[in-house]
Structure 1
Amino acid sequence: MPMPIEALEAALREGFPDAQIEVQDLAGDGDHYKARIVSPAFKGLPRVKQHQLVYAALKGRVGGELHALALETSAPA
């Protein structure tokens, strides 16, 4: 079952309340998204660890309700 964009945004905002978050539905099917997240939580962390934090915030939805998620993560400049 697809994940509505609102549910994805809500989960990301819950996990990163102080972040700038932009989500795009890449295919219009609720299964393929791109998220850009700029959060102080990522400061000093390698990209792999940043992405692991995002996956943790999504609580197992990636690979289930959420088929594909392209990520761009960074700390504020």
Structure 2
Amino acid sequence: MSLRERIENKLNEAFTPERLTVIDESHQHAGHQPDITGTGETHMRVQIVSESFSGKSRVDRHRAINALLKPELDAGLHALAIEVAAPGEATRF
């Protein structure tokens, strides 16, 4: 199972999202550091809409996702961009 799939599974289980997209953006970061070649799954973007985030601050939403995905970050995920909303909130995704 790919890292992207593991992230999707964890987010689906934890937040039961109405919308969820996990995008591998690793190729866009090739050469930013000597060990980042653009291959592999090092940079991910999460776009998620879930009722779980209603009434929570942006910081609390990000903390919840970062805490859930800490094992992936500890295991080599270099960067995680998070775009999060509750249902009915405006999004850019």
TM-score normalized by structure 1?
A: 0.82
> Any residues of structure 2 matched to 1:1-77 within 5 Å, and which?
4-28=3-27, 29-77=40-88
Q: Using a 3 Å threshold, how does the CA distance of structure 1 residues 27 and 61 change in structure 2: closer, same or farther?
A: closer
Query: How far apart, CA to CA, are the structure 2 residues paired with 1:60 and 1:67?
Result: 12
How many residues are treated as equivalent by the alignment? Answer: 75
Identity of aligned residues (%): 36
Q: Which runs of 5+ in 1 are unaligned?
A: none
Query: How far apart, CA to CA, are the structure 2 residues paired with 1:19 and 1:53?
Result: 17
Give the root-mean-square deviation of aligned CA atoms.
Answer: 1.7
Is the 1:25–1:32 contact (alpha carbons within 8 Å) kept by the matching residues of 2? yes
Q: Which has the higher helix share?
A: 2
What are the superposed Cα offsets for residues 7-44 of structure 1, whole Å, 9 maximum, x if unpaired? 11111112112442101100243110100010111111
Q: Which runs of 5+ in 2 are unaligned?
A: 28-39, 89-93
Amino acid at match of 1:43: S
Q: Using a 3 Å threshold, how does the CA distance of structure 1 residues 46 and 54 change in structure 2: closer, same or farther?
A: same
Which structure has more relative contact order (CA 8 Å, sep 6+)? It is: 1
Q: Which runs of 4+ in 1 moved over 4 A?
A: none
What are the superposed Cα offsets for residues 34-74 of structure 1, whole Å, 9 maximum, x if unpaired? 00010111111111100011112224322433221100001
Query: Which of the pair has more CA radius of gyration?
Result: 2
